[in-house]
Amino acid sequence: VSRGYFCNSGHSNRRPTLDVKTFEGHLLCEAITPIGRTIACPEPIAASRYQGQVGFADVNDEPGKRCNVPGCELDSTNCFHVYVGHNAIGSEFHWLPPKVIHRFWSFVSRAGAAEGEEEHPDDIAYVEQAIRTLDPSQKKVWCRSSHRGRAAFRPHTVNEYTSLYAQCSKPLASSVDGKVMEVLESQLPHPLKHVYAGSDAISKDRPPSKSDHDYGPSWSPLYAALPVLRTTVLREPFTWLVSKYFWHWNTFFRNKEPAHSCDSDDTEWMDDFATEYILKLCGDDCYARHALRGESLDSLAFQAEGNLRHGFAVVGLVNETDTFYDMVTRRVGYLNMSLNPSVTGSIHSTSNKEDYAACQELYATAEFQKKIMAKHRPVELLKHLFSVAEEVNRFQIRELSRCNVASFDNNIN
């Protein structure tokens, strides 16, 4: 019997710039493919290594030390972690053991090819060798820095990661991304060539694009193939926007008054929040693709839809949390979400704010939503993705109800 270990928000995020704040902390990364980000932007060893202390470290320690528990050592062939956090889908590529990633790459890069007849064998081998450099036990050089060709190994600390970023991470990102694209791009769905079932809101009437380079391939099949079980819970976008409005003004900016009321015509703030929501569902790579390459949000929403349909073992809804817990218990054999009956979550403080109820009532009206979606493409895309989440949720409920367990006590529309 193997034992798994719980970890809360211990793995850092990756972003193309440092002018943002994230709960888990973040490091720079410019790679645009999941495998490229794995190799060019690995979690520093000191933040990944289990050193015999089970429990949380101080939040000011290296990112990852809050996951200072056994079960997912860097030289392991498995990872027995139950991880929760604010990270985007795909962030696990930075910290999963290299042997897990190597086995995964060996499979996906040769999928469908007869033995010994795979295309791009040199590119495949290059990436395989690069993945091996992430395993400290192999003692392989991660990169040759531009300073006199000095050998550099996988960064041990955040400071070392930062000091090697320009010399190692950036050129590795460019090199590995190119190899990965050469091997896999032709096999990936593309928003200009493929349409997922139900994705009319994304594929039809898309905004004019300067060029087709504004649209990239979807890495959702790669995310779906990674041997991890993901769960997520989504909230209806307009009720979520009301909470974001009150939370960010009245919590993060306690000494400031809102610049306008929630029913003001000044609604540009919605774009940033909706875009961030879509990027989280799209994947870790999407931040760099959007910020550095100018890839359109429509293209990234296409990948987000693929992830919702194929990349999550359980897709839950905020207004049906008990059903979500039941789904997780039935889907994942080693988890039982009913074993903490005395734990009760508190009500979010935003619901106590003045005008909260009135704003929720306004944002729930069809007329208001139609006006906002006509004005803000990110909100329109997010609304569509939530409808996809509802569809997937209902399908999963029906699927799990057919298993050899008690049927869900849930009214499926």
pLDDT one-digit tens code per residue, 242-252: 988 888 765 54
Residues 6+ apart with CB under 8 A from 364: 238, 239
Predicted local confidence at residue 4, as pLDDT: 80
CA 266 to chain centre: 30
Q: Closest Cα partner for 68 from 77, 76, 59?
A: 59
pTM higher than 0.85 for the full model?
yes
Predicted local confidence at residue 378, as pLDDT: 96
Token pair for 41:
């932007």
Band of pLDDT at residue 172, cut at 50, 70 and 90: very high
Distance from C-alpha of 279 to C-alpha of 300, rounded to nearest angstrom: 7
DSSP code of residue 319: G
pLDDT one-digit tens code per residue, 8-22: 888 999 999 988 888
Mean pLDDT for 48-70 is 50
Count of all residues that appear for the chain in the document: 413
SS3 assignment for 79-124 = CCEEEECCCCCCHHHHCCCHHHHHHHHHHHCCCCCCCCCCCCHHHH
Give the bridge partners for 317, in sequence order: 234
